[in-house]
Amino acid sequence: MIVNKPLVLTYLYLLIYILLSSGVILYNKWVLSPKYFDFPFPITLTMIHMGFSGAVAFFLIRVFKVVSPVKMTLEIYITCVVPISAFFAASLWFGNTAYLYISVAFIQMLKALMPVATFIMAVMCGTDKARCDVFLNMLLVSVGVVISSYGEIHFNVVGTLYQVTGIFAEALRLVLTQVLLQKKGLTLNPITSLYYIAPCSCYLNLLLNTETAVWVLVLVDEVFHDSFYDCFVFLCAPWYVLEKPGMEVSQIQFNFWIFFSNALCALALNFSIFLVIGRTGAVTIRVAGVLKDWILIALSTIIFPESTITGLNIIGYAIALCGVVMYNYLKVKDVCASQVPENISDRIAKDWKLEKKSSDTFTPNNSSDNNGGGSGGNISSSDMNVDEEAPLIPSSRLSHFGRTQLSK
């Protein structure tokens, strides 16, 4: 029996992604919940994640050269990265705060609204058009989420508002990434995203100290050239207003290994996304996301007994999931339609142009011209061995983890 090793490796990466994604969500819930570890400071937890991930990304890019940084100018950084970082920080803040009020299972059901939020933001920003078929799918998803919310036993308005706000912030971040970065030709993978967006969190606590604020401002220019600088600053104000007073008066149990392992899991999740993106397509990732949601709902009811699921929850989520699946199908169909292969006439015309260009650049041998030789000159083996696609392929590129460096 022949084992397809690349296929096995792809499924292994998908399994790791599903386990890590579920594990990070359950771990965050356990850390933040008053019934368990009781660390009710979601902004602080997010800052720890950002600082740790940004530091590791810095070493991977600048020290170990695992991934090459993109060409980032000050203008692109201010006009593109900073707004994206703001909404990224907001989505993490609101999403983690929701764990204090509602169950993991209900949070996953609410996340079915992500396509709705993304579609609304895309239409508002002009990157997508309002279509009847997509609108009907969004309506189906919304009805399913409303039914699921109605069936929630421990429904909490504050937690629901936090989660929905976080969903819309994440949707706007995704749309802004497409509008601001991709139109400028920049593509950030999970590692470079952490490198440019997360690490500003490392300087937040310094900014809260007036004695060191001046030194930080002096270092900003040097920091920018190393690009170790952005998301955490936007969490400064809400942390200072909402959590700092509570941290001063409450008895906080700070276990280094708990927070270190929690940040390590969050970092590993970003790396697993990097691996999955490099080996799968959009359809596989979307299917894996749906499978992950069902697994997470089931696990949350086992690990957290208070996460009771009713029949109305399941019915509502199933309805919403049908709308999500149809939406994913339409998006994948649109992508495939935009990649229509060339017809035969276009291909013939393209080949003729290549042949004409090749004949125009050919210079016959001088001796044959002078002597009137009939061969038209000798063509060397190097002239015959021409790769027409060579100009389209970079001479050297670092692919995703697990792959080798390609060169001419």
Domain-embedded: residue 358? no
Domain-embedded: residue 208? yes
Q: What is the pLDDT of residue 343?
A: 52
Helix axes 42-58, 82-97, angle to 10 degrees: 140
Segment 144-163 shows an average pLDDT of 93
Domain-embedded: residue 369? no
Is the pTM higher than 0.75? no
Domain-embedded: residue 363? no
pLDDT bucket at 102, cuts 50 / 70 / 90: very high
**How many CB atoms within 10 Å of residue 154?**
12
- β partners of residue 396: 407
Domain-embedded: residue 405? no
What are the CA-CA distances from residue 206 to residues 210, 276, 341, 357 (Å)?
8, 36, 55, 61
Q: What does the mean pLDDT of the chain come to?
A: 75
Domain-embedded: residue 325? yes
Domain-embedded: residue 361? no
Q: What is the pLDDT of residue 171?
A: 92
CA separation for the pair 170, 158 (Å, rounded): 18
Among 52-66, 126-140, 188-202, where is mean pLDDT lowest?
Answer: 188-202
The dihedral formed by the CA atoms of 91, 92, 93 and 99, expressed in degrees to the nearest 10: 110
Among 58-62, 116-120, 363-367, where is mean pLDDT lowest?
Answer: 363-367
Segment 335-343 shows an average pLDDT of 64
Domain-embedded: residue 377? no
Segment 70-81 shows an average pLDDT of 79
Residue 146 scores a pLDDT above 80: yes
Q: What is the pLDDT of residue 366?
A: 44
Q: What is the pLDDT of residue 208?
A: 37
Domain holding 108, by residue range, is 5-337
Q: How far apart are the first and last CA of the chain?
A: 35
Q: What is the pLDDT of residue 203?
A: 43
pLDDT bucket at 348, cuts 50 / 70 / 90: low
Report how many helices (DSSP H) and strands (DSSP E) the chain contains, helices first.
19, 2
Number of structural domains (the chain) is 1
165 touches 172 (CB < 8 A): no
pLDDT 10s digits, 368-408? 444 444 434 443 433 333 333 233 333 333 333 333 333 34
Element (H, E) at 146: helix 132-150
